[in-house]
Amino acid sequence: MTELPVPALSLVALIGISGSGKSTFAGRHFAPSQVLSSDGFRAMVADDENDQSASAAAFDALHYVAGKRLAGGRLTVVDATNVQDHARTNLVALARAHDVLPVAIVLDLPEDEAWARTQRRPDRTFDRPVLARQSRDLRRTLKKLSREGFRTVHVLRGHEEIEAATIRLQP
């Protein structure tokens, strides 16, 4: 078991390719109300969690709610791939604007394993190149995370580390 220290008042960005287990991890370690997921917000604004054309509106709404939570001093977890630079830049800026610590938790599952899981999911229909691109973005992300302003960076490599991790909130 590995305990990951996380400041009690922080904005936690989960980072990982589709199928890496972000939503499962969030559900295991955080209360449902603490977790804002891109899928949930796509569903909210467009009735379809897979509608990528709804992403802009979904993230607008997600950031708005995250800001309200942080203003109220509430730990907030963002469940989205966050492998693209602009996604993380927005989250670091949001955390700074509310004077809370941006935390990154990376779920680095091999692409083959994530793809195998995805094949078993009825709710995911994207093609392999989409996952390959996310993987490339993640590799680049890993090299520059701490420089981007994340004050705490936890990287979990492989399903065993991911499954063994627990969160320890720090006052």
CA dist., res. 96 & res. 73, Å (int): 13
Cβ 95 vs Cβ 27: under 8 Å: no
Among 23, 34, 55, 84, binds ligand GTP (CB under 6 A): 23
| Residues in a beta bridge with 154 | 105
Q: Which two tokens stand for residue 61?
A: 């709404």
- The binding track of 36-55 with respect to ligand GTP, each residue x by CB under 6 A or -, is ---x----------------
Nearer Cβ to ligand GTP (20/90): 20
Cβ 30 vs Cβ 77: under 8 Å: yes
Nearer Cβ to Mg ion (27/67): 27
Q: Which amino acid is it at 2?
A: T
Among 81, 90, 135, 141, binds ligand GTP (CB under 6 A): 81
Window 98-137: residues binding ligand GTP (CB under 6 A)? 117, 121, 124
Tell me, by CB under 5 A, how many residues bind Mg ion. Answer: 2
Give the closest residue to 90 by CA, choosing from 20, 11, 24: 11
Q: Is the dihedral of CA 130, 104, 30, 48 positive or negative?
A: negative
Report if residue 74 touches ligand GTP, rule: CB under 6 A: no
Give all strands (DSSP E) within 50-118, no chain letters: 76-79, 101-108
The least CB distance from residue 147 to Mg ion, in Å, is 26
Per CB under 6 A, residues contacting ligand GTP are: 16, 18-24, 39, 81, 117, 121, 124, 159, 162-163
Per CB under 5 A, residues contacting Mg ion are: 22-23
